[in-house]
Structure 1
Amino acid sequence: MRTRPAFRFWHRWFGILGGAWLILLAITGCAIAWYDELDGLLNPDLRHAQIVSGQPAPIDAVVASAQDALPGFEPNNILLAQRPDRTHWLLGRQTIPDGTARAVQAFVEPASAQFAGWRKSGAISLHRHHLPDLLYGLHTDLLVGEIGIIFVGLLSLAWLIDHFLSLPLAFPRLKGALSAFRVGGHAGSLRQLWDRHRASGLWLWPVTGMLALTGVTLSFPMESREVVETVSPVSDRLHYAMEERGPPTNPIGLDAAIASVTEDRAQVHSVRPHPEVGLYAVRTFDTRDVDNQGRLWTYVNMETGKITAQRHDAGENAGDTFFIWQYALHSGHAFGLAGRLLVTLAGLVTIYLGISGYRLWWKRRRRIGQAR
């Protein structure tokens, strides 16, 4: 088969050049699959809340508490605590006295609206407050911004291509194909190392292939959208197309906006103020959700409190359905605990594939050198 040497050449050099980067992405991916648990473990002062019976504090009081502690802070996303032992998480920007702004995250107790603490978003630091975000940044853009996103996207695309080109290498012939899923050879032999490399890759091939594909779509959302639109329409979040106007002079509070949408605050995932279009976007949980993000967006007029529009991320087209699954699958949240465990296992296997691939290359290189 003439193409087999070309496939082997690709697989070898993709592994040599991209293996170390894949190992880094796999390590960080395994960690951030458990982002909330890791953040809570490292930063109980920020993430843990006292469990108190009775009604929780109003969200307006929560925001006011953060603004009192951080003068000049304006939240653009208020994520409500989904567990009684967790704090509310407010993301936004703080304008400091010298006129510059910085992205910050504030944490507030749900029961008392007491300010728990804050941290700077995107800080490159090994301090425990910043370590979860550091790992997240390494995974998404290698901490270098747009160039890093492009690199991660291209690496994911090459990895996806490698998934298909490596199959003919794993199955040189259909007869006896099942043996590719087994490990033979004596301990420490090159044969055993190769069998383990091949078998571990084959067993998790569907999962790692999914991670490669979703890595491409998450890194290149606009380009992916253009590709998908050749097959099915893709709709935007509604506020993207709304006409901008000045912020309202006397807006209703966040609690009033939530009350316009639901009487059960436990159904609310988050609230996003959009003063540029005069609306609050209240995100709530819905039966159409495919993860834990609260995918139903309800837009509430900041002045009147009336609902003006509503859209679920699943949309009405196959293209919308495709995109709602991308983050859910990549993070593992699509299937709850089992999904995150499977994504973590795939990450560990990817680490092993990278290390064993380098070992195979080095051992074969040494064997060729000794033969000469």
Structure 2
Amino acid sequence: MTFKKAVGKIHLWLGLSTGLVVFIVSLTGAIFTFQDEIRDATQSWRKVEVPTQPTPLLLPSQLQAVTERNHPGLKTAFFMLMGPERSAVVYSTNAKGEYFATALNPYTGQELGFLNLREDFFSIVQALHMYLLLPEDIGGNVVGVSVLVFVVMLITGIIMWWPKRKTDRKRSFTIKWGARWRRVNYDLHNVLGFYAASIALLLALTGLMMSYEWVMKSVYFVANAGHSYPAEKTPATVDTLQVVPAAREPLVDVFYRQMMHNSPAAKMLYIPVAASPKQPVYSIAYRKTLYYFHRDEYYFHPVSGALLKSIMHAGKSNGQKMADVNYDLHTGQAFGLGGKIVAFLGSLISASLPVTGFMVWWGKRNKPKKKPREAAVTAV
């Protein structure tokens, strides 16, 4: 068996075993790419009008009080403060552990929208993309392994497709639309797969960074040229033997004030409620709303509210910045609208590859049998 035939066998059986998962993950990824734009167009409550007169934003504790008054039985988990032109969102849980999102006007406290995230379309799409709606441990591993296999398939696919002769290359880069459907399908699989390979690899690798810690560590190691920066990787701890005075105001307000003081240019804040007096509260200040790259990270004491540790964007290593930009790369938004369009098209083509590949395999197995030629009758 030649090398290319061996690669072909690997490509075939890996594709048949993971094709359905790759199709689902790629298609849901394409749908999720423009989720913020679609939400903004269909959920008017995501944006608010800025008052003509200078008006301070409400504190997190005030938003929490409104939410828990309007929805008895829900317990606040964390806040997403989205900036002066967007509603603030309070995320809560009920006794069953289900999550809800309450959107509030950050100037008046008026409730603008309420979502049960189990019924939210894009939350379902995201869960399907990440876990196939299975338990997270099981579904996450199924998706992760399938994406790893997809990376191997992209590489083996290029090896199989690459033309031996220079004269064949031009023909290999085009789709012969006028040919029979089997040939068109074959070209769609090979040509589109080649053109989208680099984008598909980027999407796959950034997805794997979210799925597997060893992938994230590998990228961190390479980006830092093998250097280690333990200060930015080690979380703060709480000295449980030390007696500290409780904060004089609600803890979430203490966190908010310190974050705005240290990160005055931040537009979006993630602030969780203290869950345990033994665990520090990890909060994030983002430079730009709905973008996750430029972030300052904070650890606060869960009783006193004192700042235990901060990791500012400007002082981060290249490896940590690569980790921070991962989500924006995965969705394409790191490069603006153009990047999202490219990620969307790359995801759609990735979703098509298992389909066209299966049709190539099925077509080869079910070729119409040629009728045997009738024997010529010899005249006597």
Q: CA RMSD in A?
A: 3.5
Of 216, 241, 249, the match for 1:252: 249
225 and 239 in structure 1: CA distance in 2 versus 1, 3 angstrom threshold: closer
Q: 1:180 to 1:161 in 2, by over 3 A?
A: same
Per-residue CA distance 1:334-353 (angstroms, 9 max, x = gap)? 21222211110101111232
Aligned partner of 1:208 in structure 2 is 200
1:175 alignment counterpart: 166
Instruction: Note the C-alpha offset of 1:158.
Output: 0.1
Q: 1:240 to 1:72 in 2, by over 3 A?
A: farther
SS of 2:178 mapped into structure 1: coil
Structure 1 residues 262 and 322, CA, compared in 2 at 3 Å: closer, same or farther?
Answer: closer
Q: 1:78-93 to 2 correspondence within 5 Å? A: 78-82=79-83, 84=85, 86-93=86-93
Distance 1:247 1:173, change over 3 A: farther
| 2:331 match | 331
Q: Which range moved further: 133-142 or 30-39?
A: 30-39
Q: 1:306-317 residue pairs with structure 2 within 5 A?
A: 307-312=307-312, 316-317=316-317
Distance 1:314 1:155 in 2: 36
Which has the larger Rg?
Answer: 2
Deviation of the 1:201 alpha carbon: 1.1
Q: Does structure 1 residue 164 correspond to structure 2 residue 155?
A: yes
Tell me what 1:243 maps to: 238
SS at match of 1:262: helix
Normalising by structure 2, what TM-score? 0.80
Q: Distance in 2 between matches of 1:293 and 1:321?
A: 7
Aligned to 2:228: 233
Please report how far the alpha carbon of residue 30 of structure 1 lies from its aligned counterpart in structure 2 after TM superposition. 1.2
Q: Which residue of 2 aligns with 1:113?
A: 109
Structure 1 residue 76 corresponds to structure 2 residue 66: no
Residue 233 of structure 1: how far off its partner (Å): 3.4
Deviation at 1:142, TM superposition (A): 0.7
* 2:297 equivalent in structure 1: 297
1:119 aligned partner, one-letter code: L
Match of 1:141 in 2: 131
Highest relative contact order (Cα 8 Å, sep 6+), 1 or 2?
A: 2
**Alpha-carbon contact 1:234-1:320 (below 8 Å) kept:** no
Give aligned pairs, total. 359
Q: What is the alpha-carbon distance in structure 2 between the residues aligned to residue 51 and residue 260 of structure 1?
A: 24
| Residue ranges of structure 1 left out of the alignment (5+ in a row) | none
Query: Residue 287 of structure 2 contacts residue 295 of structure 2 at CA under 8 Å; is this kept in 1?
Result: yes
AA of the residue aligned to 2:131: D
Task: Tell me by how many angstroms 1:14 deviates.
Answer: 2.7
Q: Is the 8 A contact 2:50 2:84 kept in 1?
A: no
| Residue 359 (structure 1) aligns with | 359
- What is the TM-score normalised by the length of structure 1? 0.81
Report the secondary structure of 1:162's partner residue: helix
Cα 1:285–1:67 change in 2 (3 A) is: same
- 1:89/1:235 CA distance change after superposition, 3 Å: farther
Q: What are the ranges of 5 or more consecutive residues in structure 2 without an aligned counterpart?
A: 373-380
Comparing 15-24 with 177-186, greater Cα deviation is found at 177-186
- Please report how far the alpha carbon of residue 3 of structure 1 lies from its aligned counterpart in structure 2 after TM superposition: 1.5
Corresponding letter in the other structure for 2:258: S
The residue aligned with 1:284 is 285
